[in-house]
């Protein structure tokens, strides 16, 4: 099948790209949007699922609701990508495109960490969060470890949020005094681009007796313990893990990756192949792996494709700016505003938790839901 624009992956990047192209080009957009799943789930919803605030079913946004001029959604699994020919094989056939965008996100490499099992002791997949929602309430005594198995990983603040929300849950069940909480992170501080955010999180950990072990990775999960990459072992009765990430196999097999991800021009998201872009978590852009950066990058790719269709020059450059909301526990939400490409050094400004930010986070999700679906 021939498309004007073939978008691989309907996550933050693919959904924003397809929506923008449809808004501007209407029925002429000629977008085929492919994803193996039947629905989209916001990353942060996985924390809500794990801590029993909602069910997995209620956070699924079905792709069948996408109804936009010039956009066709295809539920297919991509099995091969040829960036030279702009041809893609799926379990349903062959697609070719004038413009090809790889937005397949980051996958999880569970095999890199002995004892880590997808869908069981990690909260970065929906099945994992769902499984842990059944396990966390029965943890009433012992040592909990929130552990990261490799960097880079999606949404750097998410494991800090998991620590604070676990604390809340244990306080609510009256068992906090019987349990320890330790956070193991390969990052030296909770949010390295923003010292003020890191300081606020470290303060929140100290107030709640949560131990932070920074600059260390979880190397293996064992019965009753977690092995760290500095040779130490720490006791562990409940492991809430963040798996090591890597590009999906189909992207690695396409030969497009270097050091695990697809290299692109950070300002244009162009790959070395003409009319082929990569954006979001699958690409090496110089920004963290987060939805807010993926959608910003997708808007720049959309502008380039629109300019190409109109035979105009493309002027939009990606600025690497974005805001991430951080759950501080107790129903409080803070925000970090980061700028990765605007100056010689990345900067991150911290907005302390407030009621206004609780409402802003809700609006972040609902505005995208309304725009994309
Ligand atoms: C616990 C947690 C909390 C988070 N919190 C936040 C937050 O508060 N703010 C924020 O901005 N980000 C957050 N994130 C990160 C955010 O979810 C990701 O960075 C974002 O989804 C990346 O967007 P993407 O489009 O690059 O990839 P994705 O959204 O991962 O989309 C990739 C898509 O490609 C599809 N795909 C992959 N391989 C194939 C294949 N072979 N065939 C067909 N389809 C395929 C997948 O099904 C998927 O739908 C969080 C993540 C987690 C796990």
* Residue 279 CA to ligand 1 centre (angstroms): 11
The CATH number linked to 197 is 3.50.50.60
Query: Are both 29 and 158 inside the same structural domain?
Result: no
Query: Are both 92 and 115 inside the same structural domain?
Result: no
The residue written with tokens 């909480």 in the block is: 181
Q: Looking at the domain assignment, is residue 148 inside a domain?
A: yes
Query: Are both 91 and 180 inside the same structural domain?
Result: no
pLDDT above 70 as % of the chain: 100
* Residue 318 CA to ligand 1 centre (angstroms): 19
Judge whether residue 364 has pLDDT over 90.
yes
Please give the mean pLDDT across all residues of the chain.
97
Query: Are both 62 and 207 inside the same structural domain?
Result: no
Atom 5, ligand 1: residue with shortest CA distance: 44
Paired residues of 210 in beta bridges: 181
* Residue 320 CA to ligand 1 centre (angstroms): 17
Domain holding 54, by residue range, is 2-106+247-309
Query: Are both 233 and 326 inside the same structural domain?
Result: yes
Q: Looking at the domain assignment, is residue 315 inside a domain?
A: no
Q: From 8, 9, 13, 322, give the residue whose CB has the most ligand 1 atoms within 8 Å, as the site to mutate.
A: 9
Q: Is the CB of 101 under 6 A from ligand 1?
A: no
**What is the pLDDT, as a whole number, of residue 54?**
97
Q: Looking at the domain assignment, is residue 316 inside a domain?
A: no
Q: Looking at the domain assignment, is residue 269 inside a domain?
A: yes
Helix (H/G/I), strand (E/B), else coil: 165: helix
Provide the residue count of the chain. Answer: 373
How many distinct structural domains can be found in the chain? Answer: 2
* Residue 5 CA to ligand 1 centre (angstroms): 20
**CA 55 distance to own-chain centroid:** 19
**What is the pLDDT, as a whole number, of residue 3?**
87
Helix (H/G/I), strand (E/B), else coil: 314: coil
User: 178-207, pLDDT tens digit by residue?
Assistant: 999 999 999 999 999 999 999 999 999 999
**What is the pLDDT, as a whole number, of residue 347?**
85
Query: What 8-state DSSP symbol labels residue 224?
Result: T
Query: Are both 10 and 92 inside the same structural domain?
Result: yes
Query: Are both 234 and 291 inside the same structural domain?
Result: no
Are residues 320 and 340 in contact, defined by beta-carbon separation less than 8 angstroms? yes
What dihedral angle (degrees, nearest 10) is formed by the CA atoms of 306, 308, 313, 317? 60
Query: Are both 332 and 304 inside the same structural domain?
Result: no
Q: Is the CB of 281 under 6 A from ligand 1?
A: yes
Query: Are both 230 and 342 inside the same structural domain?
Result: yes
Distance from C-alpha of 201 to C-alpha of 75, rounded to nearest angstrom: 40
Query: Are both 223 and 300 inside the same structural domain?
Result: no
pTM: 0.97
Are residues 247 and 234 in contact, defined by beta-carbon separation less than 8 angstroms? no
Query: Are both 115 and 229 inside the same structural domain?
Result: yes
């Amino acid at each position: 099948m021939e498309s004007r624009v073939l978008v691989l992956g309907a996550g933050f990047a693919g959904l924003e790209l397809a929506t923008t192209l449809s808004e501007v080009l209407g029925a002429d957009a000629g977008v085929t949007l492919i994803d193996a799943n039947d629905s989209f789930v916001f990353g942060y919803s996985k924390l809500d699922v794990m801590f029993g605030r909602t069910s997995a079913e209620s956070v699924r946004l079905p792709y069948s609701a996408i109804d936009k001029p010039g956009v066709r959604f295809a539920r297919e699994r991509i099995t091969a990508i040829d960036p030279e020919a702009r041809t893609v094989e799926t379990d349903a056939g062959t697609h070719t495109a004038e413009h090809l965008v790889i937005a397949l996100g980051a996958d999880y490499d569970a095999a890199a960490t002995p004892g880590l099992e997808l869908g069981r002791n990690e909260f970065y997949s929906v099945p994992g969060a769902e499984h842990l929602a059944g396990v966390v309430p029965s943890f009433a005594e012992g040592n909990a470890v929130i552990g990261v198995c490799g960097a880079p990983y999606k949404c750097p603040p998410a494991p800090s949020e998991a620590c604070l929300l676990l604390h809340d849950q244990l306080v609510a069940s009256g068992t906090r005094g019987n349990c320890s909480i330790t956070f193991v992170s390969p990052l030296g501080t909770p949010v390295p681009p923003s010292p003020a955010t890191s300081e606020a999180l470290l303060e929140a950990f100290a107030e709640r007796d949560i131990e932070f072990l920074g600059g260390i990775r979880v190397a293996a999960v064992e019965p009753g313990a977690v092995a760290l990459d500095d040779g130490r072992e720490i006791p562990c009765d409940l492991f809430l893990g963040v798996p090591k990430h890597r590009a999906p196999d189909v992207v690695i097999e396409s030969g497009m990756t270097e050091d695990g991800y697809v290299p692109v021009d950070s300002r244009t998201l162009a790959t070395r192949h003409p009319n082929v872009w990569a954006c979001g978590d699958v690409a090496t852009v110089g920004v963290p792996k987060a939805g807010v950066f993926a959608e910003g990058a997708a808007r720049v790719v959309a502008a380039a494709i629109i300019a190409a269709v109109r035979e105009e020059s493309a002027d939009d450059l990606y600025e690497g700016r974005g805001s991430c909301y951080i759950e501080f526990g107790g129903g409080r939400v803070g925000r970090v505003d980061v700028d990765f490409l605007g100056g010689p050094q990345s900067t991150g400004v911290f907005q302390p938790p407030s009621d206004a930010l609780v409402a802003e986070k809700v609006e972040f999700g609902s505005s995208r839901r309304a725009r994309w679906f």
